[in-house]
Amino acid sequence: LAADQPLSLQAHPSTELAKRGFALENAAGIPISDANRNYKDPFHKPELICALTEFEALCGFREPTETVRVLAGLEVPELDHYLSLLSGQPDADGVRALFSTLVTLPQTRLGPLLAGVQEQAMNKLAAGESEFAAEYRTALELGERYPGDWGVLAALMMNRITLQAGEALFLPAGNPHAYLSGVGVEIMANSDNVLRGGLTPKHVDVPELMRVLDFSGGDREILQGQRREGDELYYPTTAPEFELSRLDLAGEHTGTMVELASRGPQILLCTDGSFELVTSAGAVLPLRRGQSAWVSAKDSKVNVWGQGTIYRATVGCSD
Q: Percentage helix, strand, coil, to 5, in the chain?
A: 30, 30, 40
CA atoms of 311 and 121, how far apart (whole Å): 39
The CA distances from residue 305 to 9, 220, 228, 284, 308, in Å, are 41, 36, 18, 11, 10
Asked whether 78 and 202 are in contact (CB, 8 A), the reply is no
User: How many CB atoms neighbour CB 276 within 10 A?
Assistant: 13
Half-sphere exposure at residue 293, Cβ-oriented, CA atoms within 13 angstroms: 23
CA atoms of 67 and 215, how far apart (whole Å): 13
Nearest to 159 by CA among 230, 89, 216: 216
Which of 37, 96, 160, 196 is catalytic? The answer is 196
Half-sphere exposure at residue 166, Cβ-oriented, CA atoms within 13 angstroms: 12
Overall size of the chain counted in residues: 319
CA atoms of 261 and 302, how far apart (whole Å): 6
Residue 196 a catalytic site member: yes
Nearest to 309 by CA among 265, 275, 279, 284: 275
Asked whether 233 and 165 are in contact (CB, 8 A), the reply is no
3-state secondary structure of 164: coil
Please identify every residue annotated as catalytic: 196
